[in-house]
Amino acid sequence: MAQKNIKKGVFITFEGPEGCGKTTHAQALCDFLKGKQIDCVLTREPGGTKAGEEIRRLLLHSSGIEMTSLTELFLFEAARSQIVDELIKPGLKAGKVVICDRFTDATICYQGYAGGIDIGSIGSLNEVATGALKPDLTILLDVDTATGLSRAMSKGFDRMEKKEIGYHKKVRDGYLKLAKKYPERIKVIKVDGSIEYTQTLVRREAEKIVFRKHKRTK
Ligand code: TMP
């Protein structure tokens, strides 16, 4: 496909329960798009900026530091506000495809559905932190909780992954609820085939949105 036909500024997020493989698939999609001469930036939450990576370390890899659920929530939102202003919005403005490994849906599912913080309040904080920016496409990689956790465990658990299995089941259910609520934006891909097959499905969804957006603006 001729590259001048690509609609610029497309925001794609990857979400899913622990061990769903989203980091691998986000990287593979970015490499695929770059191979098609599409300017693509891959980043992650929490993280992606200097401040965000420091916050990530505090949230996921610190030990002996007590944090209330609200402290965690505000830290995720603080990292988000930074990455949106410093990286995501400038990337979109410059016409890039920006891929983010987790975004606002993660807070709704982890801190909200699983952590018990009011979903409406999280929604409001998400709006403030992002300036109401929404992904054009969210790929939700769905995996059975026990399978996902055992995959994640092989890399060593971080602070969130150490939470009990009931918490992670609520995270997964939360994601599936969101997918039902926003079927236009959130595309569920069940991770039960090979990595190559899953990546084919990921690319199919991404190509649709990258090229559909173009047609609308041609
Ligand atoms: P990951 O890079 O493996 O996805 O690690 C990020 C962890 O942080 C993961 O356990 C999900 C969690 N998280 C939240 O709890 N809330 C959030 O808003 C985000 C972005 C991530």
- Name residue, tokens 């603080």: 78
pLDDT at 213: 60
Burial class (CB in 10 A: 0-12, 13-18, 19+), 69: exposed
CA of 190 to the centre of ligand 1 (A): 20
Mind giving me the DSSP string for 188-201?
EEE--S-HHHHHHH
Q: What is the pLDDT of residue 23?
A: 96
pTM over 0.85: yes
Report the candidate in 137, 114, 123 with the shortest Cα–Cα distance to residue 17. Answer: 114
Residues 6 or more apart whose CB falls under 8 angstroms from that of 42 comprise 26, 27, 30, 99, 101
Q: Strand, coil or helix: what is 101? A: strand
Q: Ligand 1 centroid vs 116 CA: distance in angstroms?
A: 16
pLDDT average per 10 residues of sequence, the chain (218 residues): 60 97 97 94 98 97 92 98 98 97 98 98 98 98 95 85 93 98 98 95 96 55
Residue ranges of domains in the chain, CATH in brackets: 3-216 (3.40.50.300)
Atom of ligand 1 nearest to the CA of 44: 2
Asked if residue 15 has its Cβ within 6 Å of ligand 1, the reply is no
Q: How is residue 198 written in tokens?
A: 């899953």
Three-class secondary structure of residue 139 per DSSP: strand
